[in-house]
Amino acid sequence: MNQKLKSTAVWAPLVIAVTFITGMIAGNYFSHRQAGGSVERKISDIITLIQSDYVDAVDTDSLLEKTIPDLLSKLDPHTVYIPASELTSTNEVLEGSFGGIGVVFNMMTDTATVVEVVSGGPAEKVGMLAGDRILTVNDTLVAGVKYNMDKLRSRLKGPKGTVVRLGVKRASAPNMLTFDVTRGDIPVTSIDAAYLITPTTGYVRINKFGRNTYMEFLNSMIDLRSKGAESYILDLRDNTGGFLEPAVLMANEFLSAGRPIVSTRGRIPSMDQQMGSDGTGAFQDAALAVIINEGSASASEIFAGAIQDNDRGVLIGRRSFGKGLVQNQIELPDSSAIRLTVARYYTPSGRCIQKAYTPGSTQAYEMEVYDRFLHGEDFNADSAKIDKTHEFTTLGGRTVYGGGGIMPDVYVGRDTTGVTSYYVNAFNAGMLHNFAFNFADNNRTMLEQAKTTGELLAMLPPDDTLLTSFVGYAQQKAGIAPRWYYINISRQLIVNQLKSLIASDILGQAALFEVNNMTDPSVARAIDELKTGPQLTPAAETADDGTTYINDDNSATD
C-alpha cells in the first residue's frame, strides 16, 4: 500500500505538469502583449476623452468594472470576469481550504445552531459541540435579530491566526459559555460520503474536482478496499467540475497503460495536449459504475467520458450537462481575474460534448437543462435530443455521440414517486428540514449515542408515529392542513427524507446520503449492474423496473 502511494507521489507531479490546463497561468500573461493595436488605441482614446472632456466627473475605474463583464459576455457562456472583491471566495472552494472556525450551522430559527463541528478544526479544539447556539460574535448580538446566514458566516470567517470570541448557549449549561476561537485553515472536502453500500461494494459521492480531490478520492478508495470493497459506485450527480487534473488522475486509477483519457485543442498550439494512462492505477481490475445527471459537468464529464469511451465501466443516470470548454483563470494586476476559454476538450473517442451555444446570447444556453425537463427527457430516454451527426465509436465498438453531453449506458429517469401537492407544499415551506432539526435537537442526547447510521435509525420512532408527528407539526407551524389521501401517497417519501435529515443533523452530511441511497433508483440500478455486469447489446432492452438500456444508436424502446 505504501509503495503504491510512493509511486503516485513520483508520477503525479509529472502528470499534473502536463495536464494542468485550468489553473492559473503566469502573471505576466498580458505584459508581453503590445498595446499598440488599433483596438487598444481606440479604447485608450475613449477613456482619455471621458476623463478630459465629459460633462461630469466620472470614475473610469468603476466604469471599466461595469464594462468588462459586458465585453466578455459577447464570447462563450463560460468566459467570465471575477472582481477582486470576489476572487478569494471564488477560489477557496476549489483550492481546498479557507480561514474559519470549523463549524457547520443552520438557522432554522433566528439563532444559528451548530449542527457539525469539523474534526480537528479550531472550534473542536476549544470544546464547541454540535447543538451549541451562537448568541454573540465579538460581543455583538447575532441571535434573535433575524441575522442573515451569509452575514453571520462572513463574521465567523477571517484571516488565519485571528481570534473571534463566541458567546454560546448550550442545553446542559445554565449560563452563556464563551469561546475564544483562533481561525485556521478549514479543509473544504470533495467527498460527501464514502462507505460500503454492500459488503463488497464501495460508494463514493464526489461533489467537485478541487485541488485536493484526487488524494481525498484515493484515500477513500483505499480505505473501502481495506474493508472488503471489490467493486465501486462513483456518484458524480450535480458535480459541476473544477480542475482538470484530478479527473485525469482519477481516470488513470481505473485504466490499463496507454489508454487515452482526454485531449485538448485550442487556437494556441500550447493548448493542444493529449493525456493518457500510465498503467500505475490501483483499481484497474475493479468493477465500476458511474452515476451522472444533467448537473454533471466539465471535469465530471471528462472522467465519465474516459470511462465510457474505454468501455471500462457502466454509466448510469441521465444525460450530462454538456460542457466541453476549458478555461484558464488569469489574474490581473489589480487582483481581479478573467476565466478565459482557451480550448475545447475531447473524450478518447474524439467527441467534444459541448452543447450548442450562440456567442453573446446566454439565455437559451442557461435554460437548456430546464428545457430538457419540459420536453420529458428527465423521465424518458426517447425524449433526449441527440445530435446523431456527431457519431463516434468507443474502444469496444459501441456508438456514442458528441455535441450535447454524455448519454449514459443505462438510463434511469427522475424519480417522482410520492410527489403530491401536500408534499410540495410542506417541502416548499421548509417543514421537513425544520421538523427534522427540531426532532434531532430535542433528542440530541439520546441520538448522539448512535455511532452508525443503522444504530441511529433503530432509535427513531416507528414510521407511522414519525409521520403523524410531522403532519401535526406542519399544520401548527405553517397551517398546512392534513390531507390524508395525499399524505398516504407521499408517506414513504416524507418518512425517508425525515430520517435522512435527522441522520445528517446527528452524524453529519455523509449519513444523509447513506439513508437517501437506500431508496435511490439510480443507486439501486448501479448495485444491480455491478452484480450482473452491464447488459449492453446492439438492441435496447428494458428492465422489469422500467429502467431503459440504451442501444448502440442511442435510441430506446419502452
Grid cell for residue 494: 416524507
464: CB partners within 8 A, 6+ apart = none
Grid cell for residue 30: 498580458
Question: Residue 115 is inside which H or E element, if any?
Answer: strand 112-117
Q: Name 106's bridge partners.
A: 113
Grid cell for residue 441: 435537537
Does the active-site annotation cover 378?
no
156: CB partners within 8 A, 6+ apart = 100, 101, 103, 137, 164
Show the 3-state SS of 271-282: HCEEEECCCCCC
C-alpha to C-alpha distance for 546 and 65, rounded to whole angstroms: 52
Of the residues 132, 309, 441, 505, only one is catalytic, namely: 309
C-alpha to C-alpha distance for 151 and 142, rounded to whole angstroms: 10
Of the residues 277, 296, 298, 500, only one is catalytic, namely: 298
C-alpha to C-alpha distance for 333 and 156, rounded to whole angstroms: 29
Collapsed DSSP state (helix, strand, coil) of residue 478: helix
Which residue in the block uniquely carries the three cell numbers 390524508?
484
Does the active-site annotation cover 231?
no
Do residues 120 and 212 touch, judged by C-beta distance below 8 A?
no
The separation between the first and the last C-alpha atoms of the chain, rounded to the nearest angstrom, is 47
Grid cell for residue 310: 474505454
Residue 24 is given by DSSP the state B
Does the active-site annotation cover 311?
no
Of the residues 323, 378, 409, 441, only one is catalytic, namely: 323
Q: Report helix, strand and coil shares of the chain as percent, to nearest 5.
A: 40, 20, 40
Grid cell for residue 344: 475545447
Question: Residue 527 is inside which H or E element, if any?
Answer: helix 521-532
DSSP string, 361-395: B-HHHHHHHHHHHHTTTTT-GGG----TTSEEE-T
Residue 224 is given by DSSP the state H
C-alpha to C-alpha distance for 268 and 262, rounded to whole angstroms: 18
If phi > 0 it is left, if psi is from -120 to 50 it is alpha, else beta; for residue 447 that is alpha
Do residues 316 and 289 touch, judged by C-beta distance below 8 A?
yes
Grid cell for residue 269: 498550439
DSSP string, 178-236: EEEEE-EEEE--SEEEEEEEETTEEEEEE--B-TTHHHHHHHHHHHHHHTT--EEEEE-
Which residue in the block uniquely carries the three cell numbers 441511529?
456
Q: Which residues are catalytic?
A: 298, 309, 323
